[in-house]
Amino acid sequence: DFRKSFLRIFQSPRLTLAAVNGHAFAGGFILALLCDFRIGAKGNARYSINEVPIGVPMPSIYTEIIRYRLGSPAATEAILSGDVYDEEAAIKLGFLQQTTDKDELITAAVTRAQTLPKDCLLAYAQSKKNLQGPVMQTINNDCIKLDEETLKIIAHDESIKAQQRTYKQLLARKR
């Protein structure tokens, strides 16, 4: 169901926008990457796809979407390193297309959404479908088998130990 929800957002025939008002890590940031356009609030927010360093292999469906949005070099770096990016790096890598003051974030997103004339919705929907065609073919043909392997790795003793280590580190930070 989670996967279906993400694909529904990704394939929406309408313009989708993410107004990112703070830190975005892991699945939260992947959720933003599902959207056609991403605006972040200026400030000290950090962005990361940090699954691998915490011991969770990136599922192939999300790998394909990240690669589609960022290109292979940036996707490879972000997924495998788990690096944490600031606002400037997030724009450079394509995580965000724009930033704005936090109190202007929703206004900026609505303004961006209104740039597409209503009589162009069919053209937008078909063009988006055409752009996403190759990645959807890969997702539909290859990702289910790869993600079955991924689930086995998530449940592997070594991965569980890494996840426990990360959890303990997070607990220690809160104290």
Q: pLDDT tens, 7-18?
A: 999 999 999 999
Indicate the pTM of the whole model. 0.88
At residue 38, the pLDDT reads 97
**DSSP 8-state symbol, 25:** E
At residue 2, the pLDDT reads 84
Q: Tell me the C-alpha distance between 117 and 114, whole Å.
A: 7
How far the first Cα of the chain sits from its last, in Å, is 35
Rg of the chain in Å (alpha carbons):
17
What does the DSSP assignment read for 30-66?
A: HHHHTSSEEEEESSS--EE--TGGGT-PPPHHHHHHH
At residue 45, the pLDDT reads 94
Section 64-72 average pLDDT: 96
